[in-house]
Amino acid sequence: MSIRFDKESQLFVLETRNSCYQLRVDETGLLRHVYYGKGVGGTDMRYREKSSDRGFSGNPYDFQNNRGCSADTMPQEYSTFGTGDYRPSALEAVLENGSRSLELTYAGYQVESGKYTLAGLPYVRGAQQAAANTVQTLTIELRDEIAGISVFLSYGVFAEKDIITRTARICNRSGKTIRLEKAASMCIDFPYASFDLIHFSGRHCMERIPERRELTRSTVTVESKRGMSSHHANPFVILCDPAATEDHGDCYGFMLMYSGNHKEEVSRDQVGSIRLVSGIHDEGFCWLLAPGEAFQTPEVILSYSSDGLNGLSGNFHRILRENVCDTRFADRSLPVLLNSWEACYFDFDTDKLLKLADEAVALGVEMFVLDDGWFGSRTSDHSGLGDWFANEDRLPGGLKVLSEKIHEKGLQFGVWIEPEMVNEDSDLYRAHPDWALCDPGRKPVIARSQLVLDMTRGDVREYLFDCISRILKDAQIEYVKWDFNRSVSNMWSGNLPADRQGEVAHRFVLGVYELLGRIREAFPEILIEGCAGGGGRFDAGMLFYCPQIWCSDNTDPVARLSIQRGTSYGYPVCTMGSHVSASPNHQTGRATPLATRGIVAMAGTFGYELDPNRLTGEERRQIREQIDTYHRLERLIRGGTYYRLSQDVHPYCSWECVSQDRSEVLVSVVCTALEANAAFYCVKLRGLDPDRFYREERSGEVFSGAALMYGGYVLDTMHGDFPGCQIHFTPCAGGIAQV
């Protein structure tokens, strides 16, 4: 069993293949965190608990003579505000009498087979687990009898995958209204740790760049208040040993499955204990809980690895691929697409699109995607959002006729939408100005000439569901790109009373999830790619509904090396939307070889975003070869174990995909800083079978797995601007080495 409870010691033990998580109920009734880390062979880790009288750290009233007993110094499992713990809290509430103090004590537990689910929120699916009996759920109830609050902490334990999930459900049992002002998903304390923090910051067109810092006696906050998880601060953080590398050292990952405002607080207290609190951002948040109501927090995915950052990444890649993303698309060969955006932007008509489609067919492309500009009065980004009907002046017969003509050419068809937005210059806004988020009497903030629809409203969601359903039913559509092109501001909804305006940001996200869920259920075979100006909502919450997300609006392959490498710390290759675009690149102006652009785009979902009419004959030949190569290696790339081989992207960026049976390997290398008379680059592979022989595809040379991992593979000298190469190793006839 992966979950055990010892009644005498009041110790809970959660075990996975390589990790152990322990918590216990102490003599005060407080639920203490005891240990999280490498498996300890069944040892009760309470022996590590030490106490001391710390000045200005108060004591529970009934234990006032035990000055070493203080909520301010004890490792806790779900901290509260107001009763002596001065570190970041997980839960803050205001009672009807104005009191803000909460004191949660243990009230009971339950263990169940299988994984819990969450209503209205994304979660790690247990049903998709091949060995379902290895998944268990522990639910612990904590109560504050005076406040009349129960908190149910749920833990999902995926024993074979080294994953633990956490969430909290806060219930009002008081008979009076309670105001939640902070409701985090998890809190965890590490009393003897010395950690670095790795988080993933950035900006539009340069998302999820790793930042690593030593934790000092202060609080570091990773946060988004933009109404989305954001380009600027991903809801995924890593705590690791200061000496940890890609392949060695203790690493802990914490990924919040949420697409809205989030906050990760990492603090080191007066005696060096490290605390992490993760959940919905509390700034601007206020949720009224009427008697008998409950508030469900988003889920957090936790994982530990002693095998460095690559080992930790592998744990997250596997759980996201197999238990978060819709598995209907996991084993399917996905079509290589051509997106119209960088080919023609808003300047198109049916004839131009069909000419692009003809060129796509000649290249071996399998899907044509019509991006922005096909609906309403949309000829620029100043108008039309919200009017989800085809502009038949540009597209006679609408999407129905266009999609039929695309399919007649042997291509599948996809379309771009941005459902959550509206232009003031639109029929929708003129009919329903109250459907946009905006403070009363105040002119709203405008971004990209658009406002944000109030997704808390059922009538807005119903309108969007009807529009999207009509589009998907009328035309032959296999793919939807779902975009979201601005941060959210003016978070005021006419749908809610004044005392509930603090609920708007979270209810907005719940509304998006509800709409996406309905679309997924109604059209299960249509692939939805998430997008928010590229990677502004690249999070596990969106992956529950959209098995891939456009990684960044920046398609420059050199920039994408950093973006995709940073993304890979938590998210698998199969989720990263990545395309070959034109050179010079439209975002940076940088010129790069087509071969290198193809190598980088293959570390993702792979497609094209360029004008085929501008290609040379040689470029056409290369693209046909790239598509053949991708399909030949697609299963390895999408489903293999991913390793970052280089420590950075300069002067070489290298990465690797290894098949699950360790028989096949693809190594990709791009040189970003070529030097004259340069040293040779020797890349050491990871994850191979040391006793197996591997044949390098191009040269036919044979190497043992041990040689490739410990001695490495030496690349030939590279020349030109940003050169790259792929090295494919296949099983050598004769199989395993004989000793």
Catalytic residue among 539, 553, 656, 696: 539
Question: Around Cβ 217, how many Cβ atoms within 10 Å?
Answer: 10
Please indicate whether residue 539 is annotated as part of the active site: yes
Report the half-sphere exposure of 635 (CA within 13 A, side-chain side). 8
Which residues are CB-contacts of 140 (< 8 A; sequence separation ≥ 6)?
12, 31, 106, 108, 109, 152, 153, 155
Q: How far apart are CA 578 and CA 700, in angstroms?
A: 30
Residues 6+ apart with CB under 8 A from 363: 338, 608, 612, 620, 623, 624, 627
CA atoms of 485 and 531, how far apart (whole Å): 8
* φ, ψ at 345 (rounded to 5°): 50, -125
**Alpha carbon 271 to its chain's center:** 33
User: Helices 458-474 & 504-522, crossing angle to 10 degrees?
Assistant: 30
Centre a 10 Å sphere on the Cβ of residue 298 and count the other Cβ atoms it contains.
Answer: 29
Structure tokens at 477: 């559509």
Q: Are 542 and 259 in contact (CB under 8 A)?
A: yes
CA dist., res. 567 & res. 569, Å (int): 6
Read off the tokens for 717.
């000298």
Kindly list the strands in the beta sheet with 19-25, ordered across the sheet, starting from the edge strand earlier in the chain: 3-6, 11-15, 19-25, 31-38
Query: Burial, 700: exposed, middle or buried (Cβ in 10 Å; 0-12, 13-18, 19+)?
Result: exposed
Helix axes 594-601, 617-639, angle to 10 degrees: 20
The two tokens of residue 516 are: 């996406």
**Orientation angle between helical segments 350-363 and 398-408, nearest 10 degrees:** 30
Nearest to 157 by CA among 135, 185, 128: 135
CA 468 to chain CA centroid, Å, is 25
Q: Any long-range contacts for 36-45 (C-beta under 8 Å, 24+ apart)?
A: 36/188, 36/190, 36/252, 36/302, 36/304, 37/250, 37/304, 38/250, 38/304, 38/306, 39/15, 42/13, 44/6, 44/9, 44/11, 45/20
How far is C-alpha 467 from the geometric centre of its chain's CA atoms?
Answer: 28
E-strand ranges in 290-344 read 294-296, 300-305, 337-339
Taking the CA of residue 647 as centre, how many other CA atoms within 13 Å lie in the half-sphere pointing to its CB?
5
CA torsion through residues 549, 552, 553, 554, sign? negative
Report yes or no: 336 and 364 within 8 Å, Cβ to Cβ.
Answer: yes
Alpha-carbon torsion 510, 513, 518, 521, what sign? negative
Which residue is listed with tokens 């023609």?
344
Q: Which two tokens stand for residue 23?
A: 């918590």
> Which one of 223, 514, 619, 634 is the catalytic residue?
619
Nearest to 359 by CA among 594, 555, 615: 615
Residue with tokens 């670095």: 196
Residue 619 falls in the annotated catalytic set: yes
Q: Where are the beta strands (DSSP E) in 236-379?
A: 236-240, 251-256, 262-268, 274-280, 287-289, 294-296, 300-305, 337-339, 367-370
Active site (catalytic) residues: 539, 619
